[in-house]
Amino acid sequence: MSKEERPQPQRQTTMNPAHNEANTSIPVTPGITDAAYIDQNPFSKDFSESLPAFDASAGTSGPQWNSNGPPDGGSGDDLLRSMSDSTRAQYPDLADVDPRSTHPGLNLSGHIISATFCVPYKIAYAPGAEWELHSRRGTSALFDSFSYLASTESPWNHTLVGWTGEINLAPPKNSAMSNGVANSSLHAHPINKASAPIPLDTKHSPKDQQEPTELRIPPEERRRLEVQLERDHGGRVCPVWLPDSVDDDEVFTLKNQQQWRRYAEHELFTLFHYKTNEPADGRALRKAWADYYRLNTAFADAIMSVFKPGDIVLVHDYHLLLLPNMLRQRVSTIYVGFFLHVPFPSSEYYRCLTRRKEVLEGMLGANMIGFQAYAYSRHFSSCCTRILGFDSSSAGVDAFGTHIAVDVFPIGINAGSALLSAFESPEVEKKVKALKELYAGKLIIVGRDRLDSVRGVAQKLQAFEIFLERHPAMRDKVVLIQVTSPTSIEDQSDGIDKTANKISDLVSRINGEYGSLSFTPVQHYPQYLPKEEYFALLRIADLGLITSVRDGMNTTALEYVVCQRDNHGPLIISEFSGTAGSLGDALHINPWDLSGTADAINIALTMTDEEKRVAHAQLYNQVTRNTVQAWTSNYLKRLLTNLSSFDQSSATPLLDRAKLLQQYRNSSRRLFMFDYDGTLTPIVKDPQAAIPSDRVIRTLKALASDPNNAVWIISGRDQAFLDEWMGHIPELGLSAEHGSFMRHPNTANWENLTETFDMSWQSKVLEVFEYYTSKTPGAFVERKKIALTWHYRRAEQENAKVMVRECQKNLEQTVAKTYDVEVMTGKANLEVRPRFVNKGEIAKKLVKAYGSATHHMPDFVLCLGDDFTDEDMFRSLNASKLNRDHVFAVTVGASNKQTLAQWHLLEPADVISAVALLNGQSDSGNVGAIAVVDGGVPESRL
Whether residue 726 contacts residue 675, with contact meaning beta carbons closer than 8 Å, is answered with no
Q: How far is CA 524 from CA 30, 215, 463, 634, in A?
A: 15, 37, 15, 39
3-class state of residue 171 by DSSP:
coil
Is 542 catalytic? The answer is no
In 3D space, the residue among 68, 22, 63 whose CA is nearest the CA of residue 148 turns out to be 63
d(CA 739, CA 753): 8
In 3D space, the residue among 703, 710, 735, 705 whose CA is nearest the CA of residue 721 turns out to be 735
851-885 per-residue burial string, b: 16 or more CB within 10 A, e: under 16: beeeeebbbbbbbbbbbebbbbbbbbbeebebeee
| Segment holding 616, helix H or strand E | helix 609-625
Q: Which entry of 144, 675, 718, 859 is annotated as an active-site residue?
A: 675
In 3D space, the residue among 752, 746, 721, 720 whose CA is nearest the CA of residue 733 turns out to be 746
DSSP string, 246-306: E-TT--EEE--GGGGTHIIIIIIHHHHTT--PPP--SHHHHHHHHHHHHHHHHHHHHHHHH
Amino acid found at 356: R
Q: Hey, what's the torsion of the CAs at 362, 368, 370, 376, to 10 degrees? A: 60
Whether residue 589 contacts residue 572, with contact meaning beta carbons closer than 8 Å, is answered with yes
d(CA 942, CA 936): 10
d(CA 788, CA 214): 68
What are φ and ψ of residue 78, in 5° steps? -60, -40
| Segment holding 932, helix H or strand E | helix 927-934
3-class state of residue 661 by DSSP:
helix
| Chain centroid to CA 920 | 30
d(CA 613, CA 593): 27
Whether residue 589 contacts residue 547, with contact meaning beta carbons closer than 8 Å, is answered with yes
Q: Which residues sit opposite 563 in a β-bridge? A: none
H helical segments located in 71-202: 76-87, 94-97, 99-102, 140-150
In 3D space, the residue among 259, 421, 397 whose CA is nearest the CA of residue 338 turns out to be 397
Residues of the chain by 3-state class (helix, strand, coil), percent to 5: 40, 15, 40
Q: Which residues sit opposite 339 in a β-bridge? A: 316, 370
DSSP string, 718-762: -HHHHHHHHTT-TT-EEEEGGGTEEE-TT--PPEETTTTS--THH
Whether residue 42 contacts residue 135, with contact meaning beta carbons closer than 8 Å, is answered with yes
307-339 per-residue burial string, b: 16 or more CB within 10 A, e: under 16: beeebbbbbbbbbbbbbbbbbbbbbbebbbbbb
∠ Cα 187 192 195 (to 5°): 165
d(CA 508, CA 520): 10
In 3D space, the residue among 384, 422, 386, 388 whose CA is nearest the CA of residue 405 turns out to be 384
User: Looking at residue 575, what DSSP letter applies?
Assistant: T
In this structure, the number of other CB atoms found within 10 A of the CB of residue 573 comes to 25
In 3D space, the residue among 447, 456, 449, 450 whose CA is nearest the CA of residue 592 turns out to be 456
Q: Which residues are catalytic?
A: 675
